[in-house]
Structure formats: C-alpha cells, structure tokens
A and B are shown apart, each in its own frame.
Chain A
Amino acid sequence: MTVWVKFIRYIIEHHDKVLLYTEQHLYISMIALALGFAFCLPVGIWLTRHERYAPIVIGAANVAETIPSLALLGFLIFIFGIGDANAIAALFLYALLPMLQNTYTGIKNVDRSLIEAGRGMGMTDWQILTMVELPLARPVIVAGVRVASVWTIGTATLAAAIGGGGLGRLIFAGLATIRDDIMLAGAVPAALLALLADWTFAAVERWITPRGLRVQQHGVGKAKARRKMGGEVKA
C-alpha cells in the first residue's frame, strides 16, 4: 500500500477527527486574522495621519515577523499559558505586518491630486477617507489580508506544539509515530485551507476593486500593482 492510499483510508476512517481539527484550525486562524484586521485598519489609517509614527509601528510589526514562529509561541506561554489563546496571540502578531503595511501604503499611494480635489470641493476629513482614500486603497488592503490569511493558516499548524488545536495535531502525531499517513492527514487539509483562503481573498480583491479601476489595471498596470504589493509585503 502506498502512502497515499493509507492517507486516504486514514481520512475516511477518522473523518470526524480531521473535520474537528480543520474546524479548530480555521477558528484559530480566522480569529487571529479578524483581530489583526480590526487592529490594522484603524491603526494603518491613523498612521497615514501621523506619519512620523509609521516607521516605529510598522518596524515593530516587522520585528514580530522576524521572530521564529516556534520561539514566539514558546515565549507567549509566559503570558497566555498553554492553548488556543497563545496560538491566536502569536498568529495575530504574524498577521499584522502585511495588513498594516498594505493599509498604510495603500492609502499613502492614493494620488495626492485626488485628495486635493476632494478637499477643494468641500469634503470633510471623514468624507475624504470614505469617499476617496478607502475605495481606492481597498484592493491593496485586501491584498494584505490575503497574504496574512495564507501565512496565518500555514503557521497555525504550530499551535499544536503549545497545546492548541488544529491540524497541527495530526502533523505532530504523525511525526511522533513516524506515520506518514497521519502527518499527511494534517498537512494536506492545512495546505488546501491556505489555498482556499488565497483564492477566496483573490476573489474578494477582484470583487471590491471599483469598476473604474479594474479596466485601468489591465496589463501593465496590474502587473505593476502586483509587483509593488509583493515588494511592500517583503519590505
């Protein structure tokens, strides 16, 4: 029997377990992502209004990013103890950088002349944000969420290492017992979840891109926007 047949058999026999862990996995990732977004959107907007703090705050998010995931999870045990809360906290910190960076840069990259025109026409600061900046920055902001979602789902497998739930349990169990099929039963659904999140947010990105921008971005514009986005995230 090849490992794939064993893997499929394991999934079928233990589908309740696989489903439960998938559910936990999604729960941990999405809570972290939602909290991260709820934090990053207002903070990112605030930073565009108080630019001198931007290097500090984004720099801090960058530092969180560079800490090895396992070390961060271990470190957070001292604060959150063992379990999902710890994992969510770590994933939250990981999710910050792409979302914060893209919210900030997305708004900063809105053409100054549009903001000037808006102000000149008598828009309040709030109206400039909601009628000009956010609609135009929306695709970039969602691109940040998309990157964060993939990272978060991938890293959530480590939650099992500090007593959290999720598909990582199967991976660690498989590793511990040298059972490829069990390990795959964790790894494959985790990878699929990450892909699914990527596709979903890509669709959202397309859907919320205003029609007036969509046509414009065909060809060079879009390639450029993509490259820029990648650059932002890596930076």
Chain B
Amino acid sequence: MTGEEMTNGLMVVFDHVSKVFPDGTRAVDDVNLRIVEGEFVVLIGPSGCGKTTTLKMINRLVDPSSGTIYFKDRDIAERDPVELRRQVGYVIQEVGLLPHLTIAQNIAVVPRLLKWSAERQRVRVDELLRMVGMDPAVHRRRYPHELSGGQQQRVGVLRALAADPEIVLMDEPFGSLDPITRGQLQDEFKKLQSEFHKTIVFVTHDMDEALKLGDKIVVMQQGRVVQEGAPADLTGRGASAFVRHFIGERRMVGDPSLVAIGQWLESRAQALSRLPVIDLAAGARSACAQLARAGAEFGLGVDPDGCWVALVAAATLAADAADLSGAIREDAPAVSVADPLKAAAERLIAEDCPWVVVLDRDRRPLGVLGRSQVLVALVETMWPESGREEVKGR
C-alpha cells in the first residue's frame, strides 16, 4: 500500500472479480483493482473489453460471477442494491434525463428518493445549477428537450452529484457530444472534480479523454486489466505492446499537444532562464535597482500578490521616472506550466516573439523559455532518442 492510499483510504476494491454472462461470454476476467478516495480512475479499452461491465459491478447493476467487490471496506454483495445505488452517482452516455420532468426535478431525483425536504432539494438544485453557470431562474423549469446535448449532459452530471455521493460512476458520459462541446465539458468536469475531490470511475474508449482527465488509467483488454498507472506511465516506455498499439504510437513518442510544459521542465529545469521578479507596485526606482543588481536586461513584473502582469525592460526604464509605464511590455506572451508544449510553440509563432514567459499554476512567473528551448522541447518530445542526440551534438 502506498503512502497516498494510507492517508486517503480505499474507496473501492476489486478482489479477483470475474463476470461470465449466461451466454458464456467472459466479460470480466480476474480483475483486481484498488480505487483510492478522491482518485479519478479511467477505465479504457476497445469495445467489448469489459470496462462498462466492470463499472456496472460497482453499483450492482451487474453482479460478479466470482470474486468480491468492497465499497468502503464492505462487501457490496451484502448490501441492498437500491440503497447502495443512492450513494453512488451514475452518469451514462445516453444522459437518460426523464423527459417528463423539469431540469430541477431531474436533478433532484435521488434527493427525492432519499426523501429530502422540498426546501433542501430546491436549495441543492440551485446550488448545482449555479456551479455549472446555468441560471436557476432560467433553467429550473425547463424540460430536457429544450436544452442542447451539452447542456443535457451537464444536467446529467449534476443529477449524479445531487445527493453528494462519495463516488461517481461515468459510462462514456461525453461520448455522444461533438468534439468542441466534449472538450468544454471535460474541462468543466475536471474543474468540478478538483473542487470536490469525488472519487470518479470513468469509462471511455478515447485515449485523449483518458489522458486529459485521469489520475490513473486502467487499460483493459478481453476482460483483463493489461496495464494501469498514471497517464505519464502509460505514455512512457513501460507500456505493453497492446497498450502501445491501443493508445497509438504517436503518443508513445510524445505528443506536444499532450505533454505539459511543466512535465518537460521537470527533467530540463535548466532550460528556463530565470529573470528578476519585480514588484511593479514598488515603483521605478526599486525596479531599476533590482535589474541592475541582477545584471538583467529584463525583469518579470508582478502585482503585490506575485501574479504575472507584464515584462519590464531595463533599456527604457529611467530610475527617476514617476512610474513604470514607459518600460512595461504588456503584450509579452505567457503560458502556464499546465499548458501543453504545443501552446508555447503556438504563442511564439503567433506573437512573433523570441521567448515566452512561463507561469506556475498560480500565475506566478517562473522564468522565460527561449525559442530554441521550445524547439528542443518539441524535438525531445516527438523523437525522444534521436532528438536528444542531435541537440547534444550541436
């Protein structure tokens, strides 16, 4: 058991679980899984690999033929399925909103089954709608068919969260949406998840989605778990031939649209040029002194909270100036460590600028990445072997 598991506790455990359907199909074959509290687990694999069956065993929509599943240390076979399901959120690809009920009534289905008071239901529905930016006054009384597909699935997700379950099961929830809406909902959901730290078990056949959302990815094939690990482990060199094939060779050698800048910097921290960080509120004199002390041409201007504002150029900075406005370049391109490498390259091209400022997740500037470093990063990501040598040899 890892340290994380010790502190967080196990939410769901699969212990040698198999499922053989009456027609003899072995849908799930001796699966062992440990799902930690707060973890976002993605089950992925080709159709018919048993990922959905595995998911449905957690809320007892399917019962295993052999093996045991524990939910918070209790064997779920001993639990009343109805009572268990009310504690487990469930989102399906078809959304499944009840067309004869309003949005508010749909979201409140489980609270209603749990016999919450009308007032408590109402408060909860409004709170959830606001969370995804849907005005309760407008949307409570609407009917599902009056919403777009993306809005419907937003409501589908809210419905699953309504009774505040500790774990949410999601069966290809964004699978039937267009790519743009899908991306939007993925981002939103990831944000919700980072706020609420629900345990999520998410089924998909889309590796981009899995890599984007999952803390842990479980790859299944013919009812078996063939590999599991963090997204980085899977895109690394340790993957089996099947996993490599399934997630695509393209990703194995690294896809600049998937590898985050921060991820690459972990191994290449020296690529980042450090520049003095200057508090713009402290005034021109202080800025001038700081730049001179560091012997730097440029400084990274921040607000009193340390958040990135603009670049300060020493050349145009006069120590006696009343303010810094003449020396500030607000159009300097900046990217976050969470952005993919591709974004850094795109900013360089779009802004026609030889460097890009890298910010951490709290928008504090870390340093500057030059054009050549970005190029190195792209090459190393896409051609890990040859790329490194070429760069070294240069």
> Footprint of B on A, CB under 8 Å?
111, 113-114, 116-124, 127, 131-132, 135-136, 210-213, 215-216
Contacts and interface: CB of A to CB of B under 8 A. Distances in A.
A118 B59 CA distance: 12
Contact of A122 (B92, B113, B143, B144): B113
Contact of A120 (B85, B97, B100, B102): B85
A117 B101 contact: no
A119 B99 contact: no
A118 B98 CA distance: 9
Contact of B90 (A121, A211, A215, A216): A121
B129 interface: no
B92 A212 contact: no
Contact of B100 (A116, A119, A213): A213
Highest count of chain B CB atoms <10 Å: which of A113, A119, A121, A127: A121
Contact of B92 (A113, A136, A210): A113
Contacts of B145: 212, 215-216
Contacts of A123: 82, 113
B83 interface: yes
Nearest to A136: B100
B94 A211 contact: no
Secondary structure at the A interface, as helix, strand, loop or mixed, is helix
B238 interface: no
Interface of B: 59, 61, 82-87, 90, 92, 94-102, 109-110, 113, 143-146, 159, 169
A44 to B, nearest CB: 19
Given A117-B92, A127-B113, A212-B145, 11 more contacts: A114-B98, A116-B96, A117-B94, A120-B85, A122-B84, A123-B82, A124-B82, A131-B98, A132-B98, A212-B102, A213-B100
A210 B99 contact: yes
A213 B113 CA distance: 23
A120 B109 CA distance: 11
Highest count of chain A CB atoms <10 Å: which of B59, B61, B86, B100: B100
A123 B143 CA distance: 21
A121 B100 contact: no
B96 A119 contact: no
A219 B317 CA distance: 70
B167 to A, nearest CB: 13
11 contacts: A113-B94, A113-B95, A114-B98, A117-B90, A120-B85, A122-B85, A122-B110, A123-B82, A213-B99, A215-B145, A216-B143
A88 B138 CA distance: 52
Contacts of B94: 111, 113, 116-117
Nearest to B142: A212
